[in-house]
């Protein structure tokens, strides 16, 4: 199984990395714009680091449908923040959540270490940007849908087989483009191009993704499938379900966990490590 390397740090099999979410958006499903302001976003990064985050994932566009955000506006929201975080936290691994190569180019120059392509390679030039700047790349499965859309009645013969085939192909293409193999991750992208049944099936069979040898990133924090599974709970009441899903994912071998609460995730994963005999 591959050792994950980002910004000179190594995460070996059995070691977990916490990726904290910081959204510079006015309409995030979780924080409703709480960290949209520059100062608030920077403070959120500080809090995430204090809570044990290894990586901070900065996003400038809401994942779901909403107001149009063009590349220039996305760059305005994230590039200066990346530069400020790099100066403030020299050793922190900085990720940027974007599917656009032109945004990736700017944030890589500003100090980003990882490009988190949650929409599954809709812009193939993003891999070339990662290769040119020596950054890592997240290769996700979003059901082959356009960014920020929610497909109607999406279906798969076998969702896990589709996820594995698609993400591994993206990962191999990234390596062929020049991205370092040890800096490529695959992500099933729960809820992206998937209904609750699909997201639960991926969670149950995550070990099949892990068996590919690629480091697996899991982004389940407070997502809709967690709320629906628990009887339709709103975003503010999905914390327990999130922690349970993180633990199950970690037990199966996932390596990186994208979360809104770094401290709670760190504690939950420490228990998983102890249960597996790692302490």
Q: What is the pLDDT of residues 155-179, one digit of tens each?
A: 999 999 999 999 999 999 999 999 9
Q: What is the pLDDT of residues 194-210, one digit of tens each?
A: 999 999 999 999 999 99
* Domain locations along the chain: 13-275
Q: How many residues does this entry show for the chain? A: 279
Average pLDDT over residues 115-124: 97
Average pLDDT over residues 231-255: 97
User: How many helices and strands (H and E) does the chain possess?
Assistant: 10, 10
**Domain spanning 13-275: CATH 1.10.240.10:** no
Q: What is the pLDDT of residue 278?
A: 62
Q: What is the pLDDT of residues 5-49, one digit of tens each?
A: 999 999 999 899 999 999 999 988 787 789 999 999 999 999 999
| Torsion, CA 29, CA 151, CA 202, CA 116, rounded to 10 | -60
Q: What is the pLDDT of residue 153?
A: 86
Q: What is the pLDDT of residues 70-99, one digit of tens each?
A: 999 999 999 999 999 999 999 999 999 999
User: pTM for this one?
Assistant: 0.96
The yes-or-no verdict on residue 143 having pLDDT over 80 is: yes
Coil vs helix vs strand at 218 = strand
Q: What is the pLDDT of residue 150?
A: 86
C-alpha to C-alpha distance for 221 and 238, rounded to whole angstroms? 8
The yes-or-no verdict on residue 279 having pLDDT over 80 is: no
pLDDT bin (cut points 50, 70, 90) of residue 152 is confident
Rounded (5°) CA angle 128-134-137: 65
The yes-or-no verdict on residue 53 having pLDDT over 70 is: yes
CB-CB contact of 213 with 1 (8 Å): yes
């Amino acid at each position: 199984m591959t050792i994950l390397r980002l910004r000179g740090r190594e995460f070996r099999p059995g070691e977990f990395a916490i990726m904290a979410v910081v959204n510079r958006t006015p309409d995030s499903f979780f924080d409703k714009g709480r960290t949209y302001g520059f100062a608030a976003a920077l403070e959120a990064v500080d809090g995430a680091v204090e809570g044990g985050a290894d990586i901070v994932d900065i996003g400038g566009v809401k994942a779901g449908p909403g107001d149009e955000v063009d590349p220039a506006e996305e760059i305005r929201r994230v590039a200066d923040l990346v530069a400020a975080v790099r100066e403030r936290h020299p050793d922190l691994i900085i990720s940027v959540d974007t599917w656009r190569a032109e945004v990736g180019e700017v944030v890589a120059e500003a100090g980003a270490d990882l490009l988190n392509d949650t929409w599954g390679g809709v812009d193939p030039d993003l891999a070339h940007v990662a290769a040119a700047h020596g950054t890592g790349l997240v290769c996700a499965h979003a059901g082959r849908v356009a960014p920020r859309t929610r497909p109607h009645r999406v279906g798969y013969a076998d969702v896990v087989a589709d996820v594995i085939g698609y993400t591994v192909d993206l990962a191999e293409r990234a390596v062929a483009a020049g991205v370092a193999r040890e800096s490529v991750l695959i992500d099933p992208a729960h809820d992206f191009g998937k209904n609750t049944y699909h997201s639960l099936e991926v969670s149950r069979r995550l070990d099949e993704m892990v068996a590919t040898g690629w480091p697996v990133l899991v982004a389940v924090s407070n997502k809709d499938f967690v709320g629906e599974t628990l009887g339709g709970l709103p975003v503010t009441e999905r914390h327990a379900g999130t922690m349970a899903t993180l633990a199950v994912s970690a037990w199966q071998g996932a390596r990186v966990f994208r979360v809104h609460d770094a401290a709670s995730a760190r504690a939950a994963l420490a228990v998983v490590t102890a249960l597996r005999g790692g302490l």
